[in-house]
Amino acid sequence: MVPTKNNFNSIFVLLLYTFCAICETKYIGGYYWSGSNKITKISDLNLGLLTHLFYAFVEVNIDGSLTIQNQEQGFVDELLKYKLKTNPDLKLLFSFTNKNDSFSKVIADPDLKSNFLTNTLTLLQNNSYDGIDLDWEFPKDEDKENYVALLRDLQSLFNSKYILTAAVRAIPIYKNTGYIVPEMTKYLDIINIMTYDYFGSWSNTTGQNSPLYPCSLDSAYEREYLNVNASIFNWIKVGADKTKLALGIPFYGRTFTLADPDNHGIHAPSKGGGSPLSLTFYQIASSYSNYITVWNDEQQTPYKYKNYTWLSYDDERSVARKASYAVEQELRGVFVWHIGADDVMGTLTGTKQPLLTTINETIFQIN
């Protein structure tokens, strides 16, 4: 057949439609933490690097009412205005957090749940946001039926007009875990798996905060549960739709206090862990640049050490590897906690938002 102008137009439209459909399936979520010790100016952010942004947090109260944290700062309105100005396609969501076990109480009482549902819809309508994220840490076994019922009610209420996501623990089936995964995956648009905090101040040895894979020194339990790859496949194994799964990438690190400064590898004995507080990527780039840096090839993540201090974190190389992994495994994508922890202005690395930029370039690269 001889190509005609109409043929070329049809082919172009088909290719454009296919490309757009592929783009629509890609997902880079980022949490804007309104309660951070160092608040990032919204106007300093490149929102074009994200597909979804979560306002953290909205508290769920025990009477079913909702409280926007730090509402007096005006971040909710400012994010909407900045989105419309710089990236109108960005989806804005409120991330709901538990307060004094409020989720459990509210969803167990029909009247309180009804109040919660009404308030949720009103919140979205009044602020022109695109959906909600349930960051419930964590439902217990006695909550699991009510949790699924809540998801079903929210999906029905939203009627495809709003997005429904949830932040979930890295281990889907654990002691007293309130997840019925096959049912959850029916109602959630995206499942944000918190694939971090595998090791920290609570650990007796050093370990990566967010290792992509296990290492040869891991115990059987650690190989099976305490790495990103294991978490993803454990969620899939118990019934999650992998095209709804997003792996979490931390923009922070965790410190350990070495028992012996000469023993500074993975699983080196530590003295009660380091600080229970995390260090942002910005803080690490600022204050730990003179530490010895080691790339852990087995786990595809770096760590630093000096004297008695040992630090696990993520850098540009490791976040690129995790983003590539999400693409390779045909997951929905990735999300980050939290976007303000990056080197937002590029004052230390020479690149604005280097971690998020690396993730975006990896996810959206054209092969």
Are the C-beta atoms of 64 and 112 separated by less than 8 Å?
yes
Tokens of 73: 């700062």
* pLDDT one-digit tens code per residue, 180-191: 999 999 999 999
Are the C-beta atoms of 320 and 292 separated by less than 8 Å?
no
| Residue of higher predicted confidence among 257 and 14 | 257
* pLDDT one-digit tens code per residue, 59-77: 999 999 999 999 999 999 9
% of the chain residues with pLDDT over 70? 91
Comparing 8-17, 236-245, 335-344, which segment has the lowest mean pLDDT?
A: 8-17
Comparing 14-23, 142-151, 234-243, which segment has the lowest mean pLDDT?
A: 14-23
Tokens of 347: 């004052």
Distances (CA, A) of 236 to 132, 189, 323, 356: 23, 15, 18, 26
Structural domains of the chain in order of their starting residue, each with its CATH number: 15-250+315-363 (3.20.20.80)
**Could you give the angle at which helices 110-127 and 144-158 cross, rounded to 10 degrees?**
40
Q: Would the pLDDT of 249 be above 90?
A: yes
Are the C-beta atoms of 266 and 217 separated by less than 8 Å?
yes
Run of H or E including 256: strand 252-257
Side chain identity, residue 270: S
How high is the pLDDT of residue 274?
A: 67
Are the C-beta atoms of 222 and 206 separated by less than 8 Å?
no
Q: Would the pLDDT of 81 be above 90?
A: yes
Classify burial at 25, counting beta carbons within 10 Å of its beta carbon; exposed 0-12, middle 13-18, buried 19 or more: exposed
Side chain identity, residue 323: A
How high is the pLDDT of residue 46?
A: 98
Are the C-beta atoms of 282 and 343 separated by less than 8 Å?
yes
Instruction: Give the CA-trace dihedral at 108, 114, 119, 124, to 10 degrees.
Output: 100
